[in-house]
A and B are shown apart, each in its own frame.
Chain A
Amino acid sequence: MALDLFNLLFFPAGLGLIGAGLLYQWADRKLLARFQNRLGPRWFQPFADAMKLLGKEEISPQGSSPVLFAFLPMLALAGALTAALYVPLFGLAPVFSFPGDLIVTLYLMSLLTMCIGLAGAQTRDRFSLAGALRVFTQMFAYEAPFILALLTPSVALMLAGQPSSWQISELATAAANAPVSHLLTLPITFVVALVGLMGKLELPPFDAPEAETEIVAGALTEYSGRGLALFSLARAVELVVGLTLVTALYLGGVGSGPLAAVLFTLKTIGLLVVIVVLQTLLARLRIDQTVNLWWRIGSVLVLAQWLLLILYRVLR
């Protein structure tokens, strides 16, 4: 019982996760800065930012519901933290696990995006409204390919005639024990999943919903204090959860001692570096171009991967 509580509140979920999220965020900012020939922040900068914002007064704008205004950021963070319970953080066994937890996690991860969109849509600020519109548009664009890409390892098992499951830990074990790495057998959906994660986290080139040169801060323009801090913490947590999920499903390596944990964490950091490189290289997409990209290319790629799997199965 005490151990469960510790797991829930401090490590690997809870505070430890938030801390890790902020560190990952720092790594993201620092690497991006170095790639762009800047100095970048010191390691404690995201912590300092979060502290400062948490201590600031939140000004609830006129014309919006103060309850929703305060509640949405909490829900967003709660959603992200709950999602974290089902994924094998740092390669340790998930805090909770049950058959079908993959689906629950995917839904909980979308909660953040929904909350950001609603937060923007319920204020009267024009930049927020435009931002909210873009948040939802973008969500409908990347969500389907992203979810399909994350379900692919399970589908692949099914098609291969092996016992399949919707449980993350089992899929992770399967990924680790696969005779040929998923990276080689499912390369297309791996890329789609990783890029989908960038869409979910609104990282460049998918940062149209918060494009500062057009709509200032997008949906979160009216947030200035605690609410903004909670949203930003939720994003940090989601960054870790997303990376962990992609790593677990595609690269595997969960729950067999400290060495596996270190290796697993290194894998997530490796994926983070890939994401940062993409951020450096690519210019922002317009929202219509984002939608185009996901529906015309993203979905087709996923379906192509499935088709390949089926063909492979049939021909064998």
Chain B
Amino acid sequence: MNASTTDRFVIPIGPQHPALKEPGHFEFTVEGETVIDATVRLGYAHRGIEKGAEGRNWTQSLYLLERICGICSHIHSTAYVIGVEQMAEVEVPGRAQAIREVIAELERIHSHMLWLGVAAHDAGFDSLFMYTWRDRETVMDLLETISGNRVHYSANILGGVKFDLTDEAAAAILKGIDFLEERTRHYREVVSQDAFFLQRTRNVGTMTREEALQLGVVGPTARASGVARDVRVDAPYIAYNEFPAQIQLLGAGDLEARFLVRIDEMLDCYRLIRELLAGMPAGELTAKRMPRKLKPGEVISRVEAPRGELFYYIRSTGGEQPDRVKVRTPTLCNMGSVLTQTVGHNLADVPMILVGIDPCFSCNDRAVSVRRAGRAEGQAWSWADLRRYGINYYRRQLNLDTDHRPTDLLTY
């Protein structure tokens, strides 16, 4: 055995690892502390949602697609509804569009706050992690005030929104974002001035503009490398024409720039939400009529999710159900950059670079194959099976079990 083979070994990160909040599997070959090769395996959270949408009608699919992601649920449903509305040639009232935008921006704040905490934790800076997550509660409470839910707001329905934004809710939002803005400014100072933290972020994982273009990254990751790409600005959707977003651009391309771009985006969100609340158009919340069947056709809808461009391709063959829904999530675009960026870096920087793109694995992976213990073959459950299992589960939980199907479903 020569020295080079003894010195290098593979450090597996995932599918279960403290640095990953969702399952993904990376293998980093290291030499000493330096990464020399990286591979990825996805699909641990693949749930077959694209296939699932084909078997549901237009309305049911909306609720299914919204559940692709627990953090950016609203933006998924927005991408879907604006596509379907375009195909149905339905005019959505301005107020509904503005409410959609308010929720989208609140969601962005919530997502970026969450990310900031996770990134700080990966850098070993738990104080920042704890404080940002405390403040994130504020925006989650606001979303609960408006929609009744903290994560799956279900604000969108085909042709409009489900609920109105009351004056009390608007006042609560204004108060909440005042507090958040002050906090965000403080975090900007911390992130850009704390010497110890800067050691972990400055000139780490640097991606030049050329590399960013070549790797095809999107969202804040791209904007931190000076690539001016923001669907809200490039191709305004919902109410972004009337209430435009400002693109936040930095050129450094390192982790610090990725932090600052996201924080600047939050600050822009506060401005945008204030403008939206001040100029909220009056009117209806839903379109007059939304057809049950759609004409044959196809539509592409692009929106800016917190992590970057979200791409939907929807095709109708004239029925009550979509023929094909293709979802391309931003994390997929950015994943390639992780593999190339980590090579040559210190192992300690790997979680930071990974978290720098704000990976969302449930977005990334979208078949249900539940394995039963003790049997070699896998077993795919039908939706009816799953539903029956769910009902029986709660029956047992509540001790209502009169007819639960025993053992075989329980043993895995």
Contact = CB atoms under 8 A, between A and B. Distances in A.
B350 interface: yes
A306 B122 CA distance: 39
Task: Give the one of B10, B19, B350 with max A CB within 10 A.
Answer: B19
Contacts of A37: 130-131, 134
Contact of B18 (A205, A213, A285): A213
A215 B130 CA distance: 21
B118 to A, nearest CB: 9
Interface string B1-12: 000000001111
A17 to B, nearest CB: 29
Interface stretch (B41-49, B196-204, B359-367): B196-204
A130 B18 contact: no
A288 B127 contact: no
Interface in A269-289: 280-289
B127 A214 contact: no
Given A36-B127, A205-B196, A280-B127, A286 B134 contact: no
Contact of B126 (A36, A129, A214): A36
Given A213-B19, A287-B348, A126 B126 contact: no
A176 B347 CA distance: 46
Contact of A286 (B12, B122, B200): B200
A284 to B, nearest CB: 2
Nearest to A216: B18
Contacts of B52: none
A193 interface: no
Contacts of B123: 283-284
A42 interface: no
A48 B286 CA distance: 58
B107 to A, nearest CB: 24
- For chain B, which range describes its interface: under 10, 10 to 19, 20 to 34, or 35 or more residues? 20 to 34
B216 interface: no
Interface in B119-133: 120-128, 130-131
- For chain A, which range describes its interface: under 10, 10 to 19, 20 to 34, or 35 or more residues? 20 to 34
Interface in A183-217: 204-205, 207-208, 211-216
B348 to A, nearest CB: 4
A141 to B, nearest CB: 14
A297 to B, nearest CB: 12
Contacts of A281: 127, 196
A316 interface: no
Given A37-B131, A37-B134, A286-B200, A204 B9 contact: no
B26 to A, nearest CB: 12
A286 B126 contact: no
B33 A288 contact: yes
A276 to B, nearest CB: 11
A127 interface: yes
A284 B200 contact: yes
Contact of A212 (B18, B199, B350): B18
B33 A36 contact: no
A214 B347 contact: yes
Contacts of A166: none
B351 interface: yes
Given A283-B123, A283-B197, A213 B351 contact: yes
B395 interface: no
Contacts of A284: 123-125, 200
B9 A126 contact: yes
Contacts of B17: 216
Contacts of A35: 127
Nearest to A281: B127
Contacts of A127: 11
8 contacts: A126-B11, A204-B124, A205-B124, A213-B124, A214-B19, A284-B124, A284-B125, A286-B348
Given A126-B9, A283-B125, A287-B346, 20 more contacts: A35-B127, A37-B131, A126-B10, A204-B124, A204-B126, A205-B124, A207-B124, A213-B19, A213-B121, A214-B350, A215-B347, A282-B125, A283-B120, A283-B124, A283-B200, A286-B199, A286-B200, A286-B346, A286-B348, A289-B199
